[in-house]
Structure 1
Amino acid sequence: MIPFYILFVTLLNSVRSSSAITIGSVTVTQIRDATAPNQNSNAYVVTSSKVREGFLVDTGVTNSTTSKLISVYQEQVLSTTKPPKFVFVTHGHPDHLGGIALIQQVYPTTPIYVITQQVAKEAVQWMNFSCTNGFSSAAQCAVNYSKVLRVLTSPRTQLAFNDRYAQINAFSVIVKGESSYAGLLGVTVASKFYWLFTGDAISILSHLFISNFFDNQILPASDDALCAWAGNMQASVCELQLSRREPKIFPGHGPISDVSSYEKDVARNVAWLRSIRNLTFNSCNKTYISDEMLRIFPEFGQTNFASIGALNMHVPADANSVGCNCTNDSPTICPVYHAPPTCMHLDINDTDTTLACSMRSTVWWPKGILKWILN
């Protein structure tokens, strides 16, 4: 047993745009893109000073971010040749996959895992889409993702980590947002603490993608899935409040969150979802919607929200579906207001957590995760 628990946060310089948390012998370092830390995806290094080994969670999208990820890993394991035990990719978005090309170049033997075959399939679809449209580099597009991405079949042995004070768990989730399938990675440290890597299932201070892009290429007939996503985020707050451990949330976008700030982070995410679906039900103008979202949520920092296509296929239903007769982004606002479908998790007041907590069993918070957190 570790005789006492030491928790400290070391903020590295802004050039490195990373922060580290160490508990006992285990350190997790968040690597952020210095040019747009709340917009571009995060990547993580987890290492042990006891056994000098580690693993990576997601890969970043730019070479500078991935190079930083590799550099921090090498510094912490005191080796430029010892490969990471594995890479866990939370979901199939290109901004979380983009560093695979460089990681494979440096560490060709390191296995790269996803939680399910659905995640692997979506990753291939997304990279094909990104490469076809010129969003990814030649090196990123040269990777055969269908072969490189391995589906977890035996997490206990595949997610091996030889520091006995850290236990790793992987959970499958369905996020009917831009990525329909995703995985959460949990690390219990020294029995008292746990870290949860959420990918885009929960982001902090970064806009949420909300489409079923690869399900059928059309907008869904209802936003039941969006409603369930909001319910899941609310339910996760309840799980943390019930837990017997001290949690840290490591999101796919934005800064690290803890139990004291996480409830506010989730409430802000739910408010964001509520606002954007109100706007997209009643406006045909993406620029107007983007400007309004930035006005309401300026701290989310997505200044290029409209230009990157984040409102193309990213809404649960559009103004056309409620008879707004959109033509060439007009009208800006529908002449008659249409309320989105009723959703218990989006219609309740932000401060009312009673309903969300009582509904925990009805949303898709992964089975088994509560048992893991509480034990």
Structure 2
Amino acid sequence: MVILFIYVLLLVLPSSVSASSSITFGSVIVTQVQDALAPRESSNDYVITSKKSYEGFFVDSGFTNSTTTQMISIYQQQIRSNSKPPKFVFITHGHPDHLAGLSLIKKIYPTTPTYVTTEQVAGEALKWMNFTCTNGFISIDQCNIDFKRVLRVLTSPRTQLTFNDTSVELSALNVLVKGESSYAGFLGISTSSKDYLLFTGDAITIRSHLWVSNFFDTNQLPSSDDALCAWTGNMKTSVCDLQLAGRKATIFPGHGPISGPLNYTKDISRNIAWLRTLRNLTFNSCNTTYVWSQMIRLYPDFGEKHLAASGGLTTHIPADANSVNCNCINDSPTICPVYKAPPTCPYLDINESDTTLACDIRYT
């Protein structure tokens, strides 16, 4: 079974002006860059620089040329150099809205290495870029790069992710994001002021729809929604781990606004509630229009309102509805005649009010 975020809608958007905002943690400046035309749904990419060493790196590389150009401009301004290359580019996952700008970065800084956490991340990235370039969703220039050669798997993060600022420590975390075959990596930054910055890519987004679908590996509908359950458990565990470590975590997501230490647990609970509701609806309906209208009604602050049209639901809904013998013909019926609960999942109880997080499950 495969569950992936699908950003096909974003792939056909034209290049546009980008927006950015910066936050300073001690000597570290983090600048979020995103498409100004869709600030709540556009992919987030990040420029990280040091006011001590005047060096920096990128987390993800942008989708449109305007976004990547702004990232490079911000980096050059903050390090006060037009020639000093970034230390590295860290790619959280293989979706093209976080990866397509790599060609421009490599053109300007050919010696800067690009890292992913695992071969699986690199493999999915290659599939996505092949799909994107073959269908003409991005420019020829953006496709004019050997992603297989450029993407390097981290083998020694402590020596590869170098950053000459003694007040910070970098760490890369391997993440099995959404079940059996969708992969990503987190990048963590610990500062001497006890801040902890976590760059999550699409594994954790904030008030932005969690696009779920199968795509590359089998091109078949999933037989169950175990991956949704595993993905939810991963999010809950991240909250628990941060709490146990006593870290003041600021989350820099792949989509949506930044989530500070006071909001992270609440934001994760909202993500889980969204997945729980989607799971219950899709398990008993063949009608994507109906499902999406209900999701927008219940979660109006989750941004993008055209998920069904862009493919994010169409490969998830029929499998679950069919599993309860709901025969889907021309998007009907709206709701199956007999309501049945989805399979048991310790992290996605059918009780809508259940917001228990992993620490509560493990340690009480």
TM-score, scaled to structure 1: 0.87
**2:264 match:** 262
More divergent stretch after superposition (253-262 vs 134-143): 134-143
Q: Name which structure has the greater RCO, CA cutoff 8 Å, separation 6+.
A: 2
- Paired residue type of 1:192: K
> 1:24-54 CA deviation, whole Å, 9 max, x = no partner?
2111111121111121110001101111100
Question: How many equivalent pairs are there?
Answer: 347
- Paired residue type of 2:260: D
**1:162 match:** 164
More divergent stretch after superposition (263-272 vs 284-293): 284-293
The 8 Å contact of residues 117 and 154 in structure 2, kept in 1 or not, is answered as yes
- Paired residue type of 2:209: H
More divergent stretch after superposition (304-313 vs 119-128): 304-313
Distance 1:155 1:352 in 2: 38
2:31 to 22, 29, 32: 29
For structure 2, which runs of at least 5 residues remain unmatched after alignment?
1-16
Kindly report which structure 2 residues correspond to 1:345-364, keeping only aligned pairs within 5 A, or say none: 345-347=347-349, 356-359=358-361
Distance 1:76 1:178 in 2: 40
More divergent stretch after superposition (92-101 vs 212-221): 212-221
Computed over aligned residues only, the root mean square deviation of the Cα atoms, in angstroms, reads 2.1
SS at match of 1:324: coil
Distance 1:353 1:332, change over 3 A: closer
- Paired residue type of 1:294: I
CA positional deviation for 1:146:
1.0
1:291 to 293, 296, 308: 293
Distance 2:256 2:137 in 1: 22
Distance 1:254 1:125, change over 3 A: same
The 8 Å contact of residues 177 and 210 in structure 1, kept in 2 or not, is answered as no
The 8 Å contact of residues 88 and 112 in structure 1, kept in 2 or not, is answered as yes
- 1:341 equivalent in alignment to 2:352: no
Distance 1:258 1:121 in 2: 32
Distance 1:241 1:323, change over 3 A: same
2:145 to 133, 143, 146: 143
CA positional deviation for 1:239:
2.4
Distance 1:220 1:188, change over 3 A: same
> 1:192-236 CA deviation, whole Å, 9 max, x = no partner?
111000111110011113334333222222222211211221222
Distance 1:336 1:350 in 2: 19
CA positional deviation for 1:131:
2.4
Kindly report which structure 2 residues correspond to 1:80-159, keeping only aligned pairs within 5 A, or say none: 80-159=82-161
The 8 Å contact of residues 276 and 350 in structure 2, kept in 1 or not, is answered as no
**1:200 match:** 202
Distance 1:345 1:56 in 2: 33
Q: How high is the sequence identity, in percent, across the aligned residues?
A: 64
> 1:240-264 CA deviation, whole Å, 9 max, x = no partner?
3333332211111111111211111
> 1:274-330 CA deviation, whole Å, 9 max, x = no partner?
111122112222222222211111111112212221113345943123211112322
Distance 1:327 1:141 in 2: 40
Distance 1:93 1:110, change over 3 A: same
Distance 1:315 1:65, change over 3 A: farther
The 8 Å contact of residues 204 and 254 in structure 1, kept in 2 or not, is answered as yes
The 8 Å contact of residues 210 and 315 in structure 1, kept in 2 or not, is answered as no
Distance 1:200 1:314 in 2: 18
SS at match of 2:291: helix
**2:8 match:** none
TM-score, scaled to structure 2: 0.89
SS at match of 2:75: helix
For structure 1, which runs of at least 5 residues remain unmatched after alignment?
1-14, 362-375
The 8 Å contact of residues 171 and 188 in structure 2, kept in 1 or not, is answered as yes
Distance 1:319 1:350 in 2: 20
SS at match of 2:347: helix
- 1:309 equivalent in alignment to 2:288: no
**2:227 match:** 225
